[in-house]
Amino acid sequence: MKIAIVGCGALGSYYGAKLCRSGVDVSFLLRTDYDVVLKNGVQIHSPEGDFHVHPRAANCPGVIGPVDLVVIGLKTTANHQFPALIPPLLHSGTVVLTLQNGLGNEECLARFVPPENILGGLCFVCLNRIQPGVIHHIDHGRVVIGEYRRPAGERTQAMAELFRRAAIPCELTDDLARAHWEKLTWNIPFNGLGVASYAGWAAVHSGSVTSGRPPSPCLTTDRLLADPAWHGLVRELIGEVVQAARALGHALEDGIAETQIQRTLTMGAYKPSTLIDFERGQELELEAVFFEPLRQARNAGVSTPRLENLTRVLQQLKR
């Protein structure tokens, strides 16, 4: 079995390295880290044990050619690169698994991949790329895999087995869309408000909010929850996401707000990915994590005033 990893930041590199270690034929498709990974391979630092692998490295998909499985770890802000990156990796039966955040990624792939060959995976993992080819695995690592617009089947089971053999805890979902919305009940409040908490400081510091980023007064998850006012917004946003999801037919559980908050309280001063992107001056995953969910909520006729406001604030900060 041949696997191509597309998007070898922290996420793609971590799961790709685990697959590689398990003995599968893995090729990394790289851009900025190509030279380093070609020469030195990939180093994972993890509380579960450090390890090093030397996968095939390519800086162009044509060099890799058709594979059996494409795993996508790209930031969703790079989805416009799909048409250039993905087709050279496909044969008629290639399965494409996107591990990306938010909504719309499978739909984006479905423009040139047969829908029945698309899977989505939700990653519950804390990672940090500390330098080219070197990934710091902080905690967790579980993946939940589902079929695009279909329940899980034998193929999904086989995929989960592949991941488990690579020491990646893996579960299946029969409802990928619902799983995405469940994850959004965390990503929207904690990624979104973490960045929005920066607005006042940024306005005083620079008048606009595009320059002079470090040091950042973005609120980590613990601080958002410790402040009654921000905590209130977290709960309101979760409530809006749940309402939207339900109007779209995804039966999220009643206690999900409490579950997410209790889980987050155990995470300490955690910095969600959007905060890290923001502090680094990188483009934010606004389309997949905020705009598309908001669009779907609107289409379902659900009023989500806090999400509307949050999206507007993030849009302004992005400028």
Burial of 165 (0-12, 13-18, 19+ CB in 10 A): middle
Site mask, its own copies, residues 222-251, x = CB under 8 A?
A: -----xxxx-xx------------------
Residue 70 or 196: the one with the smaller Cβ distance to its own copies is: 196
* H or E stretch covering 5: strand 2-6
Is residue 221 within the footprint of its own copies (CB under 8 A)? no
Is residue 295 within the footprint of its own copies (CB under 8 A)? no
Under 8 Å CB-to-CB from 260, ≥6 apart: which residues? 185, 186, 238
183 counts as catalytic? yes
Exactly one of 14, 34, 186, 198 binds its own copies (CB under 8 A); that residue is: 198
- Unique residue bearing structure tokens 């519950």: 124
Residue 42 or 193: the one with the smaller Cβ distance to its own copies is: 193
Is residue 197 within the footprint of its own copies (CB under 8 A)? yes
CA dihedral 251→257→262→263, nearest 10 degrees, is 50
Which DSSP category does 71 fall into? E
- Contact region with its own copies (CB under 8 A), list: 22-30, 93-101, 110-118, 302-310: 302-310
Tell me the residue type at 286. Answer: L
Q: Please, are residues 313 and 125 in contact by the beta-carbon 8 Å criterion?
A: no
To its own copies, the closest distance from the beta carbon of 315 in angstroms equals 11
Of residues 75, 183, 271, 318, which has the active-site annotation? Answer: 183
To its own copies, the closest distance from the beta carbon of 111 in angstroms equals 34
Residue 185 or 216: the one with the smaller Cβ distance to its own copies is: 216
Residue 248 CB neighbour total at 10 angstroms? 16
Residue 129 or 306: the one with the smaller Cβ distance to its own copies is: 306
- Unique residue bearing structure tokens 């770890």: 73
Is residue 289 within the footprint of its own copies (CB under 8 A)? no
Question: What string of DSSP letters covers 222-259?
Answer: HHHHHSHHHHHHHHHHHHHHHHHHHHTT----TTHHHH
Exactly one of 124, 201, 270, 291 binds its own copies (CB under 8 A); that residue is: 201
Tell me the residue type at 214. Answer: P
Residue 24 Ramachandran class (φ > 0 left, ψ -120 to 50 alpha, else beta): beta
Residue 222 or 308: the one with the smaller Cβ distance to its own copies is: 308
- Contact region with its own copies (CB under 8 A), list: 10-18, 48-56, 267-275, 310-318: 310-318
Is residue 217 within the footprint of its own copies (CB under 8 A)? yes
Residue 108 or 317: the one with the smaller Cβ distance to its own copies is: 317
From 255, 260, 257, 246, select the one nearest 297 (Cα to Cα).
246
Q: CA neighbours within 13 Å on the CB side: how many for 255?
A: 3
To its own copies, the closest distance from the beta carbon of 294 in angstroms equals 13
Under 8 Å CB-to-CB from 204, ≥6 apart: which residues? none
Size of the site for its own copies (CB under 8 A): 29
- Contact region with its own copies (CB under 8 A), list: 67-75, 109-117, 167-175, 300-308: 300-308
- Contact region with its own copies (CB under 8 A), list: 27-35, 145-153, 173-181, 192-200: 192-200
Exactly one of 45, 205, 235, 246 binds its own copies (CB under 8 A); that residue is: 205
> Which residues participate in catalysis according to the annotation?
183
Positions that interact with its own copies (CB under 8 A): 192-193, 196-201, 203-207, 215-217, 227-230, 232-233, 305-306, 308-310, 312-313
